[in-house]
Homo-oligomer: A and B are copies of this chain.
Amino acid sequence: MQFADRLNNVETSAIRELFKLLGKPGIISFAGGLPSPKTFPVDAFAKACEVVLGHDGAAALQYAVSEGYAPLREAIADLLPWNVDPDQVLITTGSQQALDLIAKVLIDEGSRVLVETPTYLGALQAFTPMEPQVVAVDSDDEGVLVDDLTAKVGSGADKARFLYVLPNFQNPTGRTMTEARRAAVAAAALKTGVPVIEDNPYGDLWFDTPPPAPLTARNPEGCIYLGSFSKVLAPGLRLGFVVAPKAVYPKLLQAKQAADLHSPGFNQRMIAEVMKDGFLDRHVPTIRALYKSQRDAMLEALAKHFPDSNQQPDTNLTWNTPAGGMFLWARLPVGMKAVDLLPFAVDKGVAFVPGAPFYADHGDERTLRLSFVTPSVEEIHRGVAALAAAIKERQGI
């Protein structure tokens, strides 16, 4: 068979291939980005199944409209901190599908698309089949730098189709865009007329204080907002959503229809049922508390094994302190590549994700992503010890 040219740019997903490694017995994984299964409200789902199949079984199991289950769309609109009409909410098969739909609707071959440095690998993978020219905007630990954003928007036929950002506890870096940066980015986007795709799967998982208001809340007509139930309820139901301006919504809906007709009505009803009576208000704080304790354990273990990190960053692992979410971003000593270290780390019993694939252009090969949410506190300590041992062995220490 003759494959489409667009596949020339596609490589097998590093993320998905990593999922297979997780099956290796005894490995402590900082790699996967899987929510902790301790946070899945299994009993609430079991009860919801009973209610949905008992009261609404035929409808839950039938074909349904592409927009999504109306009560779920209303519940989502109610949750969001700006004025959202439920008619602007499109239910998607995970928020990954939203990225696929956006790519189809907004990207032509060669279109300029702006992303953070680094950015979510799954977004790059969703955009790639539509063959954009992906341009990385310089970023610091608060997100994209406004001057570089403005410089890279382009003009005329080469004007960027959108800026893709993940402002809260970003995947992969765990960083958060400050209020001042959000205001500046929103203003620059408005001024240059570049649409913003705001991806927010982790925003509810803050540890001490909620993050600043979304970019979309500042300019709803210029933004497409993506949310997900994967991190606050469970990823295995594959439900996310898009909030789009009314001019864009019908295009996304057409793409959704062609892609999978609609997301499972049964799953949508289960989520809507579980969300009733303020369940998320009681449940999400338990996730925050768990993840915060695990982040703290990872910070503690890193400080213990790399006590000289602040004084001698070139010969140590360095890392940041995420204020929420699932990931911490680290950097190996000078001269050491994460991808080369990985097999030695796996040999010592710990896995992580090398950071380079998350860069749209020249990856920083010293970087790595550490997820602190799946392993237990005890495993986090053992895993960091194993990581430290692998690094020191490679350093000949």
Contact = CB atoms under 8 A, between A and B. Distances in A.
Interface string A204-230: 000000000000000000000000001
B65 A237 contact: no
Contacts of A254: 7, 10-13
B96 A236 contact: no
Given A12-B254, A15-B257, A16-B66, 5 more contacts: A4-B104, A4-B130, A10-B254, A19-B65, A62-B235
B259 A96 contact: yes
Instruction: Decide if the interface of chain A is mainly helix, strand, loop or mixed.
Output: helix
The number of chain A residues touching the other chain, given as a range, is 35 or more
Contact of A264 (B35, B108, B130, B237): B237
Interface string A47-79: 001100110011111111110000000000000
Interface in A214-258: 230, 234-238, 245, 247-248, 250-251, 253-255, 257-258
Contacts of A7: 105, 251, 254
A10 B238 contact: no
Interface in A339-362: none
A188 interface: no
A32 B2 contact: no
B159 A260 contact: no
Interface in A12-30: 12-13, 15-16, 19-20
Given A61-B45, A65-B16, A264 B247 contact: no
A247 B62 contact: no
Given A105-B7, A258-B100, A266 B237 contact: yes
A128 to B, nearest CB: 7
A281 interface: no
A192 to B, nearest CB: 13
Contacts of A13: 66, 254, 257-258
B46 A58 contact: no
Given A12-B254, A104-B6, A108-B6, A263 B238 contact: yes
Interface string A131-148: 000000000000000000
Interface in A112-131: 122, 125-126, 128-130
A240 to B, nearest CB: 9
A19 B238 contact: no
A107 interface: yes
